[in-house]
């Protein structure tokens, strides 16, 4: 379902239009929300929802790769998630390992490159070891970049960038006049990745929750009520079709 507040004025229904393979968003970011509510609805513990959510990732990666998407960024763990009960945090931080134990061989086979965006320093050593192995084992691949936001917060990322820029000014290696948008972008966690073209958030929440605030300046936003464990390849295609129906202007005026 297309987000309630974001239907196009002419009300064109994306399910009726064909997919345009020449206009695929090159970077899709997803806030994978609703795992806990999915589990609660079934009388299961929240962790059962998180586990189910990892299976969906594999399907969506495969479909994104088929569509020709270049970068898929997934919000896996936020800097705010530390506030959850300890048992749930412990479980969440084991998911990178269990996901990679199950799927890394297939990701390698599919030519995927694994990346991480976030603060590694206070993650458990076992988590860091698992992701470092995956990054290393996929570093020579040149297909889809699968970028996991792990211990990520956008305000934290911007604070770190500002600290570094201020320090460069202080030491004299940078002058204040050289601070511009490109320089700020270059100091974020993953400067090599272009900004997302399309953001998807599942589970009915219509907000950004401290996710990629700088990078989402011109991104098309797409919201669905579907809980992440129920998200499907078909719904990904629907989001891409909706993206294709929108005229992106980057602040300019529409041509033609």
What phi and psi, each to the nearest 5 degrees, are found at residue 199? -110, 130
| Neighbouring-strand partners of residue 23 | none
Is 77 near ligand V07 (CB under 6 A)? Answer: yes
Nearest approach, Cβ of 33 to ligand V07 (angstroms)?
8
Residues touching ligand V07, count (CB under 6 A): 20
Using the rule CB under 6 A, which residue among 61, 76, 165, 200 binds ligand V07? 76
Output the furthest CA–CA distance in the chain (Å, rounded).
59
Q: How far is CA 108 from the centre of its chain?
A: 20
Is 114 near ligand V07 (CB under 6 A)? Answer: yes
Which residues from 121-140 bind ligand V07, rule CB under 6 A? 131, 134
- Concerning whether 151 is annotated as a catalytic residue, the answer is no
Per-residue b or e along 119-156, where b marks 16 or more CB atoms closer than 10 Å to that residue's CB: beeebeeebbebbeebeeebeebeebbbbbbbbbbbeb
- Concerning whether 111 is annotated as a catalytic residue, the answer is no
The label of the residue with tokens 């959510």 reads 53
Piece of the chain touching ligand V07 by CB under 6 A; list 53-61, 170-178, 184-192, 239-247: 53-61
Assigned token pair, 252: 């300019």
Piece of the chain touching ligand V07 by CB under 6 A; list 37-45, 94-102, 163-171, 213-221: 94-102
Nearest approach, Cβ of 112 to ligand V07 (angstroms)?
11
Cα separation of 225 and 1, whole Å? Answer: 7
Is 54 near ligand V07 (CB under 6 A)? Answer: yes
Is 228 near ligand V07 (CB under 6 A)? Answer: yes
| Neighbouring-strand partners of residue 77 | 150
Question: How far is the CA of 123 from the CAs of 57, 120, 203, 224, in angstroms?
Answer: 21, 5, 27, 31
Which residues from 144-183 bind ligand V07, rule CB under 6 A? 148, 150
**Interface residues toward ligand V07, by CB under 6 A:** 32, 35, 50, 53-54, 57, 76-77, 92-93, 95-96, 99-100, 114, 131, 134, 148, 150, 228
Active site residues: 33, 81
């Amino acid at each position: 379902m297309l987000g309630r507040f974001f239907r196009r004025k002419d009300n064109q229904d994306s399910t009726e239009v064909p997919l345009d393979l020449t206009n695929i968003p090159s970077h899709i970011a997803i806030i994978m929300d609703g795992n806990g509510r999915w589990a609660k609805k079934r009388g299961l513990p929240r962790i059962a929802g998180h586990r189910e959510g990892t299976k969906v990732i594999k399907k969506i990666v495969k479909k994104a790769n088929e569509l020709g998407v270049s970068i898929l960024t997934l919000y896996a763990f936020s800097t705010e998630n530390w506030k959850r009960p300890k048992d749930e945090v412990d479980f969440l931080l084991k998911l990178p390992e269990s996901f990679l134990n199950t799927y890394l061989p297939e990701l390698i086979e599919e030519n995927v490159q694994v990346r991480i965006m976030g603060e590694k320093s206070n993650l458990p050593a076992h988590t860091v070891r698992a992701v470092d192995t995956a990054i290393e084992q996929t570093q020579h691949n040149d297909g889809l970049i699968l970028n996991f936001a792990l211990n990520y917060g956008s305000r934290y990322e911007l604070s770190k960038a500002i600290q570094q820029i201020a320090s460069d000014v202080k030491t004299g290696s940078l002058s204040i006049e050289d601070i511009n948008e490109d320089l700020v972008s270059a100091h974020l966690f993953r400067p090599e990745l272009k900004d997302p073209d399309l953001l998807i958030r599942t589970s009915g929440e219509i907000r950004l929750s401290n996710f990629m605030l700088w990078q989402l300046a011109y991104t098309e936003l797409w919201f669905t009520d579907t809980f992440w464990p129920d998200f499907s390849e078909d719904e990904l295609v629907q989001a891409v079709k909706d993206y294709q129906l929108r005229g992106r202007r980057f602040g300019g005026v529409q041509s033609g």
